[in-house]
Chains A and B, each alone.
Chain A
Amino acid sequence: NAGVTQTPKFQVLKTGQSMTLQCAQDMNHNSMYWYRQDPGMGLRLIYYSASEGTTDKGEVPNGYNVSRLNKREFSLRLESAAPSQTSVYFCASTRSGPTYGYTFGSGTRLTVV
Chain B
Amino acid sequence: AQKVTQAQTEISVVEKEDVTLDCVYETRDTTYYLFWYKQPPSGELVFLIRRNSFDEQNEISGRYSWNFQKSTSSFNFTITASQVVDSAVYFCALKRGGSEKLVFGKGMKLTVNP
Chain A residues at the B interface, C-beta cutoff of 8 Å: 31, 33, 35, 40-45, 48, 50, 58, 88, 90, 92, 94, 96, 98-104, 106-107
Task: Report whether A99 and B91 are in contact in the complex, using a CB–CB cutoff of 8 Å.
Answer: no
- A103 and B91 CA atoms in complex are apart in Å by 14
- A44 and B107 CA atoms in complex are apart in Å by 12
Within 8 A of A (CB), among B43-92: 43-45, 47, 50, 52, 91
Chain B residues at the A interface, C-beta cutoff of 8 Å: 9, 31-33, 35, 37, 43-45, 47, 50, 52, 91, 95-107
Task: Report whether B102 and A102 are in contact in the complex, using a CB–CB cutoff of 8 Å.
Answer: yes
Task: Report whether B44 and A101 are in contact in the complex, using a CB–CB cutoff of 8 Å.
Answer: no
Task: Report whether A101 and B50 are in contact in the complex, using a CB–CB cutoff of 8 Å.
Answer: yes
Once A98-B33, A99-B33 are accepted as A-B contacts, the answer to whether A45 and B47 lie under 8 Å apart by CB is no
Once A40-B106, A43-B104 are accepted as A-B contacts, the answer to whether A90 and B52 lie under 8 Å apart by CB is no
